[in-house]
């Protein structure tokens, strides 16, 4: 009972701007399983394209193990907050709001802090996720101990694929260090 109350409190507190937890959880206490992946979507403009992105994630994620963090970065669009609000009631979906625009980097950093060390998938709000995408990214990421990051390369736009290859990008980067 106490663990559930603490979990609910932390979930609520993490939604607050500037939240920082300074103490670690007691390892003797039974914990909820870690999320398989935390999908972070920083949001600023494009109500309908953002809705399509969110719906594609919800359609293809595992709702028990894949968390979704939506961060409204002070969108100037009047309909954005109302469009996002219902998602806050979906299990393992968390809606964070920046009351002023922090910009992409600070918004992503806020989401990464919320994810608390879990594996993160960062999506632009105009991305459409297809069936099997999360499973494939995770399979590749854990396919070898030297893999540090995985980047999806669009498969349906030959011009984009060719530009991506010409710049020397790789599908998988080895961890350096």
pTM score over 0.85: no
- DSSP output for 48-102: HHHHHHHHHHHHHS-TTTEEEEEEEE----TTHHHHHGGGGGSTTEEEEEESS--
pLDDT at 158 over 60: no
Q: Is residue 175 part of a domain?
A: yes
Q: Are residues 55 and 125 in the same domain?
A: yes
Q: Are residues 65 and 151 in the same domain?
A: no
Predicted confidence (pLDDT) per residue in 95-130, tens digit: 999 999 999 999 999 999 999 888 999 999 999 999
- DSSP output for 116-147: TTS-EEE--TT----TTHHHHHHHHHTSSTTE
Any idea what the CATH number is for the domain that residue 96 is in? 3.90.550.10
Q: Is residue 24 part of a domain?
A: no
Q: Are residues 106 and 177 in the same domain?
A: no
Q: Are residues 151 and 125 in the same domain?
A: no
Q: Are residues 64 and 148 in the same domain?
A: no
Q: Which domain holds residue 81?
A: 37-131
Q: Are residues 110 and 177 in the same domain?
A: no
Distance CA 71, CA 9 (A): 19
Q: Are residues 115 and 79 in the same domain?
A: yes
**Total domains in the fold of the chain:** 2
Distance CA 28, CA 74 (A): 40
Q: Are residues 112 and 165 in the same domain?
A: no
- 91 against 12, higher pLDDT: 91
Q: Are residues 147 and 127 in the same domain?
A: no
Q: Are residues 117 and 69 in the same domain?
A: yes
């Amino acid at each position: 009972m106490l663990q559930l109350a603490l979990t609910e409190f932390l979930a609520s507190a993490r939604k607050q701007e500037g939240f920082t937890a300074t103490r670690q959880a007691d390892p003797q206490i039974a914990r909820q399983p870690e999320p398989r992946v935390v999908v972070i979507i920083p949001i600023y403009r494009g109500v309908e394209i953002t809705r399509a992105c969110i719906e594609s994630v919800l359609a293809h994620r595992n709702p028990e193990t894949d968390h979704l963090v939506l961060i409204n970065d002070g969108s100037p669009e009047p309909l954005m907050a109302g469009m996002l609000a219902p998602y806050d009631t979906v299990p393992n979906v968390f809606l964070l709001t920046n009351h002023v625009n922090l910009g992409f980097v600070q918004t992503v950093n806020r989401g990464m802090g919320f994810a608390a060390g879990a594996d993160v998938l960062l999506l632009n709000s105009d991305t459409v996720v297809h069936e099997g995408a999360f499973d494939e990214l995770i399979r590749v990421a854990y396919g070898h101990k030297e893999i540090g990051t995985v980047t999806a390369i669009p498969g349906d736009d030959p011009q984009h694929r060719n530009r991506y290859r010409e710049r020397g990008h790789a599908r998988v980067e080895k961890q350096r260090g």
